[in-house]
Amino acid sequence: MNCMESIDKCLISKLTKKEAVVGVVGLGYVGLPLCLRYCEVGFRVIGFDIDKKKNRILNGGGSYIEHISSERVEKAVEVGFEATDDFGRVVEVDAVILCVPTPLNKYREPNMSFVINTMEAVKPYLREGQVVSLESTTYPGTTEEELLPRLQEKGLNVGVNIFLVYSPEREDPGNPDYETSTIPKVLGGHTHACREVGVALYSAAIAQIIPMSSTKAAEMTKLLENIHRAVNIGLVNEMKIVADRMGIDIFEVVDAAATKPFGFTPYYPGPGLGGHCIPIDPFYLTWKAREYGLHTRFIELSGEVNRAMPEYVVGKLIDVLNDHSKALKGSRILILGIAYKKNVDDMRESPSVEIMERIQAKGAKVAYSDPHVPVFPKMREHHFELSSVELTADSLGSFDAVVLATDHDRFDYELIKQHAKLIVDSRGIYRESSTKIIKA
């Protein structure tokens, strides 16, 4: 490293002076914004992804994520950013940041294959003077149990000549108020030296770093953040069912409760949980807790409530059709919004897709409209040969009912209200009551 100081001090110096090369493995909703941020502050960045098509798009200055502009990618390419599937180039970088998925298997247990396989892919090319950071959300102990031994197998001395940290991603795609640079970054190191190197790595690109005592504490922090949301959303979804049975509008209730200036945080019900974090991450802790003889009843109960919401919405659809002397079987149903949340094109774990499958399984003809998803994409577990329906007076009137599943701002809600025959509203867009609109 051409440095007379210890390896950690030399690496910190390179990071501080922006002379280090940053490598990001996994160029999705987390990895790509991180690459662009490091490019924007003056680092040379190499992105790694096994998807050759994705790499070609990026190297051509294009973006495949709606809320990330091609202009940002083009500027990054102009200053030296490149995407590759050649993991041999890991030897060129000083920082290896892992941003790969951590899904669940069919038994709702952690699927660590992406993390483990990625670590195995980069391991042959790791060297002294690097920092390895895991950003994937996972159970407490992952960094020590899965990454640390693989570094040691290389004969590297963690905390002395190579450095290991855990720093969970906190991306919120489509949120206009926060971006990679402005979201505080939690960070835990395997040793004190690891933590200091990690702080140097991230403070160069992110405004506020929250150093923690260990990688385990940082891993638990990310789980707590997402479990907090999952449990509270489960609570308000259960309250929705109770309120509906009592003839009370839960959205009116939440709005009123939110006026209390202390002690209450508003959460709104919906058709279920979606995205890469909230429906999945709580079960990482549930699974790990069993190793300690613990049963996470609160987390599992909220999971049961949230997973039941798509079926609840379909039940409401059946009710409103029945009230108008129609059966679901043979009806034409339009799903409004198939992304997992408003104003994005991200469909990971979207409850809308489960609603579509349930409706189709019951014999209805299903279609969808989503301005952010023009063609139904290839997904690991779901498949529809469909394109987005343009919303017009005629198209809306041609369906027996529409199900409002994702409340995109680009929908013309007045047009929908005027021309849809029946509306099942799972997002509380329509606050008035009528025989035509049913809350779900």
- CATH number of the domain at 194, please: 3.40.50.720
Last residue in a domain, options 213, 235, 260: 213
CA end-to-end span of the chain, whole Å? 61
Domain of 209 in residue numbering reads as: 7-213
379 versus 61: the higher-pLDDT residue is 61
Using pLDDT thresholds of 50, 70 and 90, give the confidence band for residue 172.
confident
Looking at the fold, whether 318 and 205 belong to one and the same domain comes out as: no
Among this protein's residues, is 277 annotated catalytic?
Answer: yes
Quote the pLDDT of residue 229.
94
Q: Region 369-395: what's the mean pLDDT?
A: 93
pLDDT at 17 over 70: yes
pLDDT at 2 over 70: no
pLDDT at 277 over 90: no
Residue 262 domain flag: no
Mean pLDDT, the chain, integer: 95
Last residue in a domain, options 197, 213, 229: 213
Last residue in a domain, options 213, 234, 268: 213
Residue 269 domain flag: no
Q: Please state at what angle helix 282-290 crosses helix 297-307, rounded to 10 degrees.
A: 140
Quote the pLDDT of residue 4.
72
pLDDT at 1 over 70: no
Looking at the fold, whether 330 and 433 belong to one and the same domain comes out as: yes
* 8 Å CB contact between 206 and 186: no
Residues 6 or more apart in contact with residue 22 via CB below 8 angstroms: 35, 38, 43, 44, 45, 46, 93, 94, 95, 97, 201
Q: Region 188-212: what's the mean pLDDT?
A: 97
Listed in sequence order, the DSSP H helices in 204-296 are 215-245, 250-257, 282-290
Number of domain units in the chain = 2
Q: Region 339-351: what's the mean pLDDT?
A: 93
Quote the pLDDT of residue 102.
93
Looking at the fold, whether 176 and 323 belong to one and the same domain comes out as: no
Residue 167 domain flag: yes
Residue 187 domain flag: yes
**The model scores a pTM over 0.85:** yes
Which tens digits make up the pLDDT trace of 291-317?
999 999 999 999 999 999 999 999 999
Residue 60 domain flag: yes
Q: Region 160-182: what's the mean pLDDT?
A: 91
In angstroms, the Cα distances linking 270 to 240, 377, 381, 425 are 9, 23, 22, 9
State both tokens at 427.
């997002």
Looking at the fold, whether 209 and 315 belong to one and the same domain comes out as: no
Looking at the fold, whether 59 and 179 belong to one and the same domain comes out as: yes
Residue 162 domain flag: yes
Which tens digits make up the pLDDT trace of 69-126?
999 999 999 999 999 999 999 999 999 999 999 998 878 889 999 999 999 999 999 9
Angle of CA points 116, 345, 37, to nearest 5° = 60
Using pLDDT thresholds of 50, 70 and 90, give the confidence band for residue 38.
very high
Which phi and psi (to 5°) does residue 159 adopt? 95, -10
Residue 238 domain flag: no
Residue 125 domain flag: yes
